[in-house]
Amino acid sequence: MTTYLDAIGEYHRRRAASDERRWTERLDQAWYVGPSFAQALSAGDHLAVIAEVKRRSPSKGWLQRDLDAVAMGRLYESAGAAAISVLTDQPHFGGDLEDLAAVRDAVQIPRLRKDFTVCENDVLDALEWGASAILLIVALLDDNELSRLHALARTVNLDVLVEVHDETEARRALSAGALVVGVNQRDLHSFAVDAARAERVSSVLPPEVVRVAESGLRSVDELTRAVEAGFDAVLVGEAFVIDADPAAKVREFAGVPRR
């Protein structure tokens, strides 16, 4: 059974195959200098919130078609977010690399490029357009791709959020050198959110790994449960974007104490 991730991954692989740029020629001056995404997620006495700039989703359609990335980024920062995730996939999420660059220029906290990274040029584009970190989705990559892209990102001083859905993927992430692991609570087939599965996945991660809970988080009770399961941070998009008072929601979530 195919999933939305399969279709999106196919699109991005076709895009990458048509990209004629030689990534090795782009490395001469490639090096990230700025706030550390990984450190921002592990600092402080409260759960770190990665707040997402998200206009739409493949399953729910438009959440906020006219969302202003800069205004939302500044709101997130002022409300206490530790980092900002910017979706740059246009066909499926309504994002753009220009959103990432604009947010970079508007805030001081780290930025995650949230996209479907499948090749070296994707990593270097993230660096060029203002990311502090990239996303690698284990379900989308084979072991060689995962290790290679992770190594390149670290070479240019970008942090890497490695997303997994189960224990097997978590072990693959660790084998690739992952230091920040995001556990997506949403099942790729049913779209159901399963916090218990996320807790099981968290339990196989070593203590030095920064843990991020992803998808379907809407309440302080759910965040408290994530903290109790060992998570250091949460990535939240839809719950902020659709809220009537997103700043208040971010402040509420950012006020959840760590263990």
pLDDT tens digit sequence for 81-118: 999 999 999 999 999 999 999 999 999 999 999 999 99
What local confidence, expressed as pLDDT, does residue 52 receive?
97
Contacts of 76 (CB under 8 A, 6+ apart): 51, 53, 84, 107, 240, 246, 250
Residues paired with residue 210 on neighbouring β-strands, in sequence order: 180
Q: Where are the domains of the chain?
A: 37-254
Residues paired with residue 137 on neighbouring β-strands, in sequence order: 163
> pLDDT confidence of 4, banded at 50, 70, 90?
confident
Active site (annotated) includes residue 114? yes
User: pLDDT (tens digit, 9 = 90+) per residue, 121-168?
Assistant: 999 999 999 999 999 999 999 999 999 999 999 999 999 999 999 999
Active site (annotated) includes residue 184? yes
Q: Does the pLDDT of residue 217 top 70, yes or no?
A: yes
What local confidence, expressed as pLDDT, does residue 43 receive?
92
pTM of the model: 0.95
What local confidence, expressed as pLDDT, does residue 198 receive?
87
What local confidence, expressed as pLDDT, does residue 192 receive?
73
Residues paired with residue 61 on neighbouring β-strands, in sequence order: 57
Q: Do residues 115 and 89 make contact, with C-beta atoms less than 8 angstroms apart?
A: yes
Active site (annotated) includes residue 163? yes
Active site (annotated) includes residue 52? yes
Q: Do residues 134 and 112 make contact, with C-beta atoms less than 8 angstroms apart?
A: yes
Contacts of 127 (CB under 8 A, 6+ apart): 30, 32, 156, 158
Q: Pick the catalytic residue: 214, 222, 238, 249?
A: 214
Q: What is the mean pLDDT of the chain?
A: 94
Q: Does the pLDDT of residue 190 top 90, yes or no?
A: no
CA dist list (Å): 161 to 20, 24, 85, 255? 27, 23, 11, 23
Pick from 2-6, 40-44, 116-120, 140-144: least confident = 2-6
Active site (annotated) includes residue 214? yes
Q: Pick the catalytic residue: 85, 121, 202, 215?
A: 215
Active site (annotated) includes residue 54? yes
State the greatest distance between any 2 C-alpha atoms of the chain, in Å, as a whole number.
Answer: 49
CA dist list (Å): 119 to 9, 124, 139, 146, 254? 12, 9, 15, 10, 34
With 0-12 / 13-18 / 19 or more C-beta atoms within 10 angstroms meaning exposed / middle / buried, residue 85 is buried
The CATH superfamily of 37-254 is Aldolase class I (3.20.20.70)
Active site (annotated) includes residue 215? yes
Q: Pick the catalytic residue: 114, 222, 238, 249?
A: 114
Q: Do residues 117 and 143 make contact, with C-beta atoms less than 8 angstroms apart?
A: no
Q: Pick the catalytic residue: 77, 120, 163, 199?
A: 163
What local confidence, expressed as pLDDT, does residue 191 receive?
62
Q: Pick the catalytic residue: 85, 121, 132, 184?
A: 184
- Which residues in 89-147 belong to E strands, given as ranges? 111-114, 133-137
Dihedral sign, CA of 8, 5, 83, 147? negative
